[in-house]
Amino acid sequence: MAVRVGHVIGGRLIEQAGERIDVVDPASGEVVAAVPAGTAADVDTAVAAAAEAFPGWSAVDPRERAAAVRRVSAALVERREEIADVITAEMGAPLLFSRAVQAGLPAATSAGIADLVEGGYAFSEEIGNSLVLREPVGVVGAITPWNYPLHQIVAKVAPALAAGNTVVLKPSEVAPLNANLFLEILAAAGVPDGVVNLVHGTGPVVGEAIAAHPRVDMVSFTGSTAAGRRVSAVAAATVKRVALELGGKSANVILDDVDGDALTRAVKIGVANAFINGGQTCTAWTRMLVPAHRHDEIVERVAAAAAKYTVGDPRQTSTRIGPMASKAQQDRVLGYIRLGIDEGATLAYRADDIPDHGAYVPPTVFADVRQDMRVAQEEIFGPVLCVLPYTGDDEAVAIANASVYGLAGAVFGADDDRALAVAKRLRTGQVDINGGAFNPVAPFGGYKQSGNGRELGRYGLEEFLEVKSLQR
């Protein structure tokens, strides 16, 4: 693989010797690259570089900063094929999905930030006798996951840059190679040395060093809820700002007035959302809530839809589900499938035609699921869909909200007003109504243990701004 990997600190690529972390292609089990295992000392150096760059970058006119983000977005489009190839190799997303989403979404979200600032976002306003300013937070620590590796990097770095911050980035060690490509793109776009610094490594070492660092003013973290709790605890010692985008167990409520072609569409979209990116999506609708009197009928439709998801080599265009991102993730998902069977859920569908090598798991549908089952409560992060019966809208809402999470969700209904009313009752950060499309500039984030703060668009930009009032 042609990607040059290493830390990038103060604009310098550091391909140091010493301990390294292998990057494994989950489809084949082959090692495709290795990145340095960063240390707390590496974080110190990166934070110092970011702090040194902050005064100059924060003083740049916001429109010039937005223009740099615009150039980054254009470069992401130009290098889409290269980015997609790298992400498929490091975490197993099907190549067509990598091109459209893993590489395409970061270009869209960064363009949205550039549009916002270039369109006249108000960094100041008059309120009575006060001049209220929105200023950059300072040095931002960005800690990102492996499931949408570049998207999560760009969702943090683009608004942080546009707001005038500098950044220390720690990507997931499972899928770190795209981060080095991104640092190349930033340099080519004219982002000055030291404004964004990259330190590879593990969460317990590099992630904790970033969260604890007294010169890091904010941490933006995306990952598991357990890891998010640890980031919050470590960051609390320095009372820095913390933004968290964590796990989910989202409910897809199909109301009892959905029938015919509309039901076919609801099931098709619901299964697609549950299985997107191999189910390794925090917003996946992994609980499908259906009217009890139509449970068996809908389960048959769900099983038929699930059977169309071909599992295999992510580089084949016929593949809809590739391997899990790692052997550890494969073991986790297979364990949950065994658990669902042991808990008494009905195994309505489980694919049997999957490769016998690599980190593959069978797409699975459980029926007759009770809300107290662990498979209905815990985030599995794989292609496993649970179908739960309900009686009446009130019970559907109660089941949907009976979760420690609240990140996303969906409602399908023949009556738009009724569907909207149910959607408003769901305690979750985003709800799609009748298949509403993802909006890359709408606020993204969760309730409860799905995190705090918002990403994307205006709300995402404002996460990286402090508010100051000047009275006169």
State the Cα–Cα distance between residues 202 and 216, nearest whole angstrom: 18
Q: Which two tokens stand for residue 129?
A: 């006798």
Degrees to nearest 5, angle at CA 437 with 367 and 250:
35
Strand partners, 384: 364
Instruction: Identify the active-site residue in 173, 208, 282, 455.
Output: 282
Q: Which residue has the tokens 């809908």?
A: 298
Task: Give the closest residue to 5 by CA, choosing from 177, 194, 186.
Answer: 177
**How many C-beta atoms surround the C-beta of residue 445 within 10 A?**
23
Q: At what angle do helices 80-91 and 177-188 cross, to 10 degrees?
A: 160
- HEC letters along the chain: CCCCCCEEECCEEECCCCCEEEEECCCCCCEEEEEECCCHHHHHHHHHHHHHHHHHHHCCCHHHHHHHHHHHHHHHHHCHHHHHHHHHHHHCCCHHHHHHHHCHHHHHHHHHHHHHHHCCCCCEEEECCEEEEEEECCEEEEECCCCCHHHHHHHHHHHHHHHCCEEEEECCCCCCHHHHHHHHHHHHCCCCCCCEEECCCCHHHHHHHHHHCCCCCEEEEECCHHHHHHHHHHHHHHCCEEEEECCCCCEEEECCCCCHHHHHHHHHHHHHHHHHHHHCCCCCCCEEEEEHHHHHHHHHHHHHHHCCCCECCCCCCCCCECCCCCHHHHHHHHHHHHHHHHHCCEEEEECCCCCCCCCCCCCEEEECCCCCCHHHHCCCCCCEEEEEEECCHHHHHHHHHCCCEECCEEEECCCHHHHHHHHHHCCCCCCEECCCCCCCCCCECCEECCEECCECHHHHHHCCEEEEEEEC
Instruction: Identify the active-site residue in 245, 379, 455, 463.
Output: 245
State the Cα–Cα distance between residues 187 and 445, nearest whole angstrom: 30
Number of residues written out for the chain: 472
Residue 282 bears catalytic tag: yes
The catalytic site residues sit at: 245, 282
